[in-house]
Chain A
Amino acid sequence: MANLLLTVLLGQTLVGPLEVPTTPAGLLWALPISMFIAMVYKAIKLEEFRTGLFVREVLLLFVTIIGFLLLVGVILAVIAHLITL
């Protein structure tokens, strides 16, 4: 039963698009892709590959990406506010 349910759910998930809300919460989908980009980039670029160093570097790059995304968001919001004054 559990296998059947899992198969149906997985099949349904892969066939149709997920409902992504047009709210600020929808932007949270930027988090996983930023994490994967940071992971692959650091797996390529680190000269010395140690697990502790790798995790630290990935987290640092992840936070940097999110930080810049937030910064761009704030700048765009300010520009939009100034234009609509």
Chain B
Amino acid sequence: MASKTEAVPLSRYIVACVVGWLIPGGGHWLLGMPRRGLFIFFGVTATLVLGVCLGGSWVLGWHASKFAWICQLCSGLPGLIGALVHHIDIGRLTQAGINPATFAGYGRGVDFGLVYTGIAGGLNVLAVLDLIGRAEKGTQPATPLTANSPEGQ
């Protein structure tokens, strides 16, 4: 009887994808690839933090650039927390009667910051797509079905 390797459950990959989105590299760590996960976490987080250092906290949130903000959300919890803090800050300023736009930063630092934070999200999307690719491979049986095997006929 032809042996058929048991496929890895899809649910495990779905959880890994969600964790990988929230914590960059977390999905790879969950699937038993801790070193890959560590480098992905360092790469994505360092890009985001350096972007905030370059452009200031203003680059987080939709006021600076809506497109960059969508990309920042893709970087998971770091981007979400940053956007939340930015939203709270804007709310406080507005409540105090201060126009938040007066705190906006301009110049190349902000431009570079937007690029850095946007690319951080893009890199995390790449990592999640890699998990989806691994899910497609991992959920398939290792033994290919051929015309000679009973399952393939």
Q: Hey, which bits of chain A sit against chain B, CB under 8 A?
A: 13-22, 26, 29, 32-33, 36-37, 39-41, 43-45, 49, 54
Q: Across the interface, do A14 and B57 meet the contact criterion of CB distance under 8 Å?
A: yes
Q: How many residues of B contact A (CB 8 A)?
A: 35
Known: A20-B107, A33-B119. A40 touches B44 (CB 8 A): yes
Task: Flag if A44 contacts B130 (CB, 8 Å).
Answer: yes
- B contact set with A: CB distance below 8 Å: 28, 33, 35-36, 39-40, 42-44, 46-47, 50, 52-59, 105-110, 112-113, 115-116, 119, 123, 126-127, 130
Could you tell me the distance between the alpha carbons of A21 and B107 in the complex, rounded to whole angstroms? 10
| Count of inter-chain pairs, beta carbons less than 8 A | 81
- A21 to B53 CA separation, bound complex (whole angstroms): 15
CA distance A14 to B110 in the complex (A): 12
Point out the residue from B47, B109, B113, B126 that lies within 8 Å of A41, measured CB to CB: B126
Contact B46 A36 (CB under 8 A): yes
- Asked if A49 and B35 sit within 8 Å, CB to CB, the answer is yes
Cα-based distance from A43 to B40 in the complex (angstroms):
7
B41 to chain A, nearest CB (A): 9
Select which of B52, B107, B115 is within 8 A of A33 by beta carbon: B115
Residue of A nearest to B115 (CB): A33
The distance in angstroms between the C-alpha atoms of A19 and B106, with both chains bound, is 10
Q: Which residue of B lies closest to A32 (CB)?
A: B50
Listed by A's residue number, 15 A-B pairs whose Cβ atoms lie within 8 Å are: A17-B110, A18-B56, A18-B109, A29-B112, A33-B115, A36-B44, A36-B46, A36-B119, A40-B44, A40-B126, A40-B127, A43-B40, A44-B36, A44-B126, A44-B127
